A and B are shown apart, each in its own frame.
Chain A
Amino acid sequence: MFHLQDITKIYRKRTQEVIAFRTDLLDIAKGEYVAVVGPSGSGKTTLLSLLGGMLSPDSGQVLFDGQSLYDLPLNDRTKLRRDRIGFVFQTFNLVPYLSALENVQIPLYLAGIAPVEQRDRAIALLEQVGLANRLDHKPCELSTGQQQRVALARTLANNPQLILADEPTGNLDPDSREAILSMFDGFIRDGRTIVMVTHDPAAAARAARRLRLIDGALSTSDPVRDAA
């Protein structure tokens, strides 16, 4: 699915330069469950942004299903993200003044789907994550676990094949965390690809492959696969 070749991303502030991420080669196959771990500031979010088509590298190429992501015009990249990539955020990033139902409708609206169909599909997705009785609740009226489930329903709205998750269990209690990770397991069984940034060793352990980032460089790649 992903092929990253000779990638370097540098952040510049005045005269200082910091290499946020670099790799000679990184492949992520379709259907893989990848956990990205590492200390704060090691480049995990940079990697996620590069994969999501939101941060162009200073050098190298990011190929997504054989297509150079950053050679696409901005609008085409946005459409690709809308149709094929789903995001899960640590703080859920729900729109606070919209109901759970309306939050799930957002990606469907952005995809140009008619309001009636938006509503039907959003209700089905919220039923799927066990929130059929919370359709009209605003995010502030939901628990953190429920908010993350609304966010997951929103992620699934356009049926993405790739899910990029940024600390998806970081703000959750153990029960909610387990519920979310179980859903992730289900996504993998459905054939989706997940790249998950996490500090949580237990969550990372659920992934089939782990990438360790230190100072922007991939230092370890998938001991499970290596062992195999």
Chain B
Amino acid sequence: MNLRTLVWRELSERPSAMLTSTLAILLGVTALVAIRHVTVFSEREVGQQLQSLGANVLVLPKAATLQDYYSADLTLQTLPESHVSSILLANLPGVERLSPKLCVAAKVGDRAVTLTGILPQSEFQAKAVWQSVSLFSNKHDGCKKAACGPKTYDGAPEALATERTIDQLKGNEAIIGADVAEFSKLKPGKSVEVLGESLQVLAVLPRTGTVDDGRVFAHLHTVQRMTNAGEVVNAIEVMGCCEDAAGGLVPSLTALLPDAKVVTISQVVSTQVGINRLMSQMSLFVLSILVIVGGASVASTISSNVRERRREVGTLMALGATPGLVTRMFLFKALALGLVGGVGGCALGLVVAMLLGSQWAGVTVTPLPDLLFIAVAAALAITTLAAYWPARSAARLDPCSCFSDV
């Protein structure tokens, strides 16, 4: 016999009563854990997207929308390619790289793909030398690039998937997306037939889960020639040196290219950021519900337990239980309820987050040990605090209550 046996025997005698009283804690922790997990992974996803895209600014035709850009549906709207030179010559502070694109619908075999013309960075170098300008050397005030560390670009063609630019690409070469490689069974070194022309596959991009998986990237001028589009592009991606560059670039580019629409990538993810912020606030709301409802539920349960066990407590005191032991007995009971609610809520919340995370926010959720520890600790703290006063009142019970009225 010990304190644990004494408490556990009572709780196991009436498991349904225990479950009912711990339900509020369990549901509160479940909601908290589920929401926080989805929020944290969603925020990480957004952060990674922004990190991988840098402080990108998009220059689009006036009539185009961001949705058009991300669905590669830009075939009807174009900008003159000379805008690329205009940006280059303006030597705007904060610009680090440019990536003009021309997207057209095409087929590989009988499957639809997006043929995307891109301009390799080597051509910018050549253009800069030819036009006697210092390429992308003009830093903006307060540039955080040094603080963030130097931005390095991988020269491998596969890096196009993450870095949005490529150093070298010949006129007869192509880089294909993962889906295209899969259905056409193409590998680097093979040839891909697009719009009646054969291009040599330079690389296969890793799967990104975006429209890039269904693209065939080729040299911009090759695509312009194949489609007779002329010297036009659909979009110009402008990579900034750091996140703060975008704010200054938008007005500069808008002034420089009045016939174009200038937007930042952060605007693209602003909805997701907003949802994340909402979910963050929601988790605080759930935490307050957990504290109020869960705490009240435990306080009520322990209070009624003290009333029910009045004679039993009196008997224990008559047998030699000190007030301190009686307090510990009820606190231990509350801790057991908190532990069941906390651990059960964590397990349930994690399952909910893992099952629904992909549907809610399109993210893969894995357990966050720190968050789970905090959730269990919060459940234990709330139950202990809520049970403290009822437990103290039990310790102050009159031991004479063990006697029958005679």
CB distance from B385 to the nearest CB of A (A): 25
> How many angstroms between the C-alpha atoms of A162 and B315 in the bound complex?
17
Also in contact, A82 and B319, with CB within 8 A (given A45-B406, A90-B404, A109-B1): yes
Known: A105-B1, A115-B2. A93 touches B321 (CB 8 A): no
B356-406 contacts to A, CB under 8 A, are 398-400, 402-406
Do residues A166 and B403 form an inter-chain contact, with CB atoms below 8 A?
yes
Instruction: Please measure, in the bound complex, the distance between the C-alpha atom of A110 and the C-alpha atom of B329, giving whole angstroms.
Output: 12
Determine if B5 is an interface residue (Cβ-Cβ < 8 Å).
yes
Q: Judge whether A91 is part of the interface by a CB distance below 8 angstroms.
A: yes
Stretch from A49-57, A63-71, A186-194 at the B interface: A49-57
Q: Give 17 pairs: A residue, B residue, CB < 8 Å, sorted on A.
A: A44-B406, A75-B324, A78-B323, A79-B322, A81-B318, A82-B320, A83-B320, A87-B402, A93-B315, A96-B13, A107-B320, A109-B6, A110-B316, A110-B319, A115-B2, A170-B404, A199-B406
B-side contacts of A148, CB under 8 Å: none
Q: Residues of A within 8 Å of B, CB-based: how many?
A: 41
Q: Is the CB of B403 within 8 A of A48?
A: yes
A115, B6: Cα distance in complex, Å: 13
Would you call B325 an interface residue if the criterion is a C-beta within 8 Å of the partner chain's C-beta atoms? Answer: yes
The complex places the Cα of A64 from the Cα of B177 at a distance, in Å, of: 94
CB interface residues, A 28-42, toward B, < 8 Å: 40
Find B1's partner among A48, A75, A83, A108 (CB 8 Å cutoff). Answer: A108
Chain B residue, CB-CB nearest to A167: B406
How many A-B residue pairs lie within 8 Å, measured between CB atoms? 95
Contacts of B319 in A (CB 8 A): 81-82, 87, 106-107, 110, 154
Please provide the chain A residues from 116 to 136 with a CB less than 8 Å away from any CB of chain B in the complex: 118
The answer to whether B406 touches A90, judged by C-beta atoms less than 8 angstroms apart, is yes
A102 to B315, CA, bound (A): 15
- The complex places the Cα of A89 from the Cα of B314 at a distance, in Å, of 12
CB of B202 within 8 Å of the partner chain: no
Assuming the contacts A90-B406, A93-B311, A97-B9, asked whether A45 and B400 have C-beta atoms less than 8 A apart, the reply is yes
Whether B406 contacts A78 by the Cβ 8 Å rule is no
Alpha-carbon distance A197/B5, docked complex (angstroms): 33
Contact B318 A102 (CB under 8 A): no
Smallest Cβ-Cβ distance to A54: which chain B residue: B399
Give, as a whole number of angstroms, the nearest-CB distance from A137 to chain B: 14
Residues on the B chain within 8 Å of A154, using CB? 319
CB neighbours of B406 from chain A (8 A):
40, 44-45, 90, 166-167, 197, 199
Contact of B321 with A98 in the complex, beta carbons under 8 Å: no
Q: Pick the contact of A102 from B5, B320, B323 — CB < 8 Å?
A: B5
Decide if A91 touches B404 in the complex (CB within 8 Å). yes
Asked if B182 lies at the interface with its beta carbon under 8 angstroms from chain A, I say: no
Instruction: Tell me whether A89 and B404 are in contact (CB under 8 A).
Output: yes
A202 at the interface (CB under 8 A from B): no
Given A45-B403, A48-B403, A118-B1, does the pair A89, B323 have CB atoms closer than 8 Å? no
What 6 new A-B contacts, CB under 8 Å, besides A93-B402, A166-B403?
A48-B403, A54-B317, A74-B322, A79-B320, A82-B319, A107-B320
Instruction: Determine whether B10 belongs to the interface, using a CB cutoff of 8 Å to chain A.
Output: yes
Of all chain A residues, the one with the shortest Cβ separation from B11 is A97
Q: List the B side residues contacting A107 at CB < 8 Å.
A: 319-320
Q: A54-B317, A55-B400 are in contact. Are A74 and B323 (CB under 8 A)?
A: yes
Taking a contact as CB atoms under 8 Å apart, the answer to whether A54 and B1 are in contact is no
Q: Per a CB cutoff under 8 Å, which of B311, B312, B321, B398 touches A110?
A: B321
Q: Contacts A75-B322, A82-B320, A166-B406: A98 and B9 contacting too (C-beta < 8 A)?
A: yes
Contact status of A111 and B402, CB under 8 A, knowing A93-B315, A95-B312, A97-B13: no
Please tell me if the beta carbons of B10 and A166 are within 8 angstroms of each other in the complex: no
Docked Cα-Cα span, A206 to B362, in Å, equals: 84
Assembled-state Cα–Cα distance A55/B400 (Å): 7
B207 CB to closest chain A CB, in angstroms?
59
B2 touches A109 (CB 8 A): yes
The 10 closest A-B pairs by CB, nearest first: A82-B320, A105-B1, A97-B13, A109-B1, A93-B315, A110-B320, A54-B399, A49-B400, A90-B404, A97-B9
Name the contact of B318 in the complex, choosing from A54, A98, A118, A167 (C-beta under 8 A). A54
With contacts A45-B405, A98-B9 taken as known, whether A93 is within 8 angstroms of B312 at the C-beta atoms is yes
